[in-house]
Amino acid sequence: MKTQVAIIGGGPAGLLLSHLLYQAGVDSVVLEHRSRAQVEARIRAGVLEQGTVDLLRSCGLGERMDKEGHLHDGMKIAWAGQESFFIDVRKHLGKRFMAYGQTQIQEDLHAASDARSARILHEAMNISLHDVDGQAPFVTFEHKGRAQRLDCEFIGGCDGFHGVSRKSIPADVLREFEKVYPFGWLGILSETPPLDDIVYANHPRGFALASMRNPMLSRYYIQVPLDTRLEDWSDERFWEELKARYPKEMAERIVTGPSIEKSIAPLRSYVAEPMRHGRLFLAGDAAHIVPPTGAKGLNLAVSDVFYLSRALASFYATGSAELIDGYSDMALRRVWASVRTSWYLTNLLHRFPDSSAFDQRAQEYELEYLRGNPSAQLALAEQYAGLPFEETAGVAATKEKGEEA
Ligand code: RFL
Ligand code: PHB
């Protein structure tokens, strides 16, 4: 087989990359090692930044999101015994968020790939990347019991944190930055009406989060120790613990019901630099992981893929490698901004098992400062909203010209 861009991983990053490249007239093949049903069954992200929403709309993937998604203006923070406060992103920045599940985005991406008969090979096993730093990279794998080879000009490594792409970059080239947190999140999905807002809670019993997918689907999380076993958490126990972590009037408004999904995710910050080696480009969780506290992971995957598709499209249209050469630095600027925000919110909102009385007081005063200080709220709103996508010199100049005219 032959293509211009081989894409490893058919999650949101890989499929969106293939979609955007198609719209720019660039051919790609996606290799995904799981089945389509397994990929669609993942329950993960739910909060989309305005930049992500705008991009999905502009590339024709916004129709169902606009019908089924729920727009909201910011997030609330509550902590023990105190009034909650609202970080009003819409008021400060004119930006909004969309509650729309990653599961639905994945379905939308599959539907769009079906409509253009995209080449997506599910259950492609033992994928291996070759000559990524040469002129003619290729990928070998097994599909339906047959050994296959895919020749290509570029490789998009979109195969998540545990994929093979990042591991194909030599150890003396790759720099890794990592922080592992001493707790995880136990999350449930329940067919019950959610609270009106996304509410992050800091409580002596641990962090909690109330979120939503639609008016009859709620998503809740609680901080748990790393050795927590799912089977020890009945729905009843979950609801009781969740409510105990919210102020009384909020707890009373939480509508409980049977869970339709329950899972535990450990929390980690990780960044790999650079995000490019030769003709291999990493995007999404393959290059970086953030703790879910800032709801940034999927949004970063989308901005990486936007930058990468634009760079590859520009290369094929003009022969210029300028954007390709700038990809890693440009993507990493946005990545580190979100990594920092997620780390800050994780520190602000969780109870750390080894924190001292000093750490605890400092955290409480940080919350107090945020609650009473509009400038601090504006700064947090800017970070929570995510940085705007960077324009390229060419695009900016054309826009300026248009504005002058
Ligand atoms: P994915 O989704 O992991 O997809 C990678 C794909 O690659 C495949 N793969 C391979 N294919 C071929 N060969 C191999 N060797 C392969 N190894 C892996 C996998 O099967 C998979 O299909 O990465 P991608 O596309 O970069 O997307 C990233 C997002 O999934 C992730 O960042 C978000 O889910 C993070 N996240 C959130 N992000 C947000 O922006 N907003 C949120 O509200 C939000 N909430 C969350 C989250 C992640 C969570 N968990 C479970 C970690 C909440 C949670 C609980
Ligand atoms: C979610 O709805 O799954 C969600 C919301 C906010 C976060 C993380 C996850 O910070």
Instruction: Indicate if the pLDDT at residue 339 is higher than 50.
Output: yes
Pick the residue whose CA is nearest to atom 1 on ligand 2: 46
Query: Token pair for residue 184?
Result: 């995880």
d(CA 294, CA 219): 15
Query: Token pair for residue 27?
Result: 């051919």
d(CA 129, CA 127): 7
Q: How far is CA 210 from the centre of its chain?
A: 18
Instruction: Indicate if the pLDDT at residue 249 is higher than 70.
Output: yes
- Work out the average pLDDT over 90-97: 95
Q: Which one, of 25, 29, 23, lies nearest residue 9 by Cα?
A: 29
Give pLDDT, residue 209: 97
Catalytic member of 76, 296, 307, 327: 296
Confidence of residue 80 (pLDDT cuts 50, 70, 90): confident
Q: What CA–CA distances, in Å, run from 13 to 2, 111, 299?
A: 21, 15, 10
Instruction: Indicate if the pLDDT at residue 43 is higher than 90.
Output: no
pLDDT tens sequence across 269-313:
999 999 999 999 999 999 999 999 999 999 999 999 999 999 999
Ligand nearest to the CA of 218: 2
- For residue 53, what is the enclosing H or E element? helix 50-58
Ligand nearest to the CA of 160: 1
- Work out the average pLDDT over 134-163: 97
- Work out the average pLDDT over 158-169: 98
Instruction: Indicate if the pLDDT at residue 267 is higher than 60.
Output: yes
Catalytic member of 292, 307, 327, 350: 292
pLDDT tens sequence across 98-123:
999 999 999 999 999 999 999 999 99
291 lines ligand 1 (CB under 6 A): no
d(CA 48, CA 45): 8
46 lines ligand 1 (CB under 6 A): yes
The atom number, within ligand 2, closest to the CA of 213 reads: 2
Interval between CA 247 and ligand 1 midpoint (Å):
32
Instruction: Indicate if the pLDDT at residue 148 is higher than 80.
Output: yes
Is 200 one of the annotated active-site residues of the chain? Answer: yes
- Work out the average pLDDT over 336-345: 97
Interval between CA 188 and ligand 2 midpoint (Å):
11
Instruction: Indicate if the pLDDT at residue 82 is higher than 50.
Output: yes
Catalytic member of 200, 246, 307, 327: 200
The angle, 0 to 180 degrees and rounded to 10, between the axes of the packed helices 297-318 and 12-23 is 30
Confidence of residue 46 (pLDDT cuts 50, 70, 90): confident
d(CA 389, CA 405): 24
Give pLDDT, residue 404: 52
Instruction: Indicate if the pLDDT at residue 401 is higher than 60.
Output: no
Give pLDDT, residue 405: 45
285 lines ligand 1 (CB under 6 A): yes
Give pLDDT, residue 388: 93
pLDDT > 90 in the chain, percent: 94
- Burial track 40-62 (b if 16+ CB lie within 10 A, e otherwise): eebbbbbbbbbbbbebbeebebb
pLDDT tens sequence across 164-204:
999 999 999 999 999 999 999 999 999 999 999 999 999 99
Ligand nearest to the CA of 75: 2
Give pLDDT, residue 68: 94
Is 307 one of the annotated active-site residues of the chain? Answer: no
Give pLDDT, residue 399: 52
- Ligand 2 lining (C-beta closer than 6 Å): 45-47, 198, 209, 211, 219, 292-295
Instruction: Indicate if the pLDDT at residue 251 is higher than 80.
Output: yes
Mean pLDDT, the chain, integer: 95
HSE-up (13 A, CA, CB side) for residue 293:
28
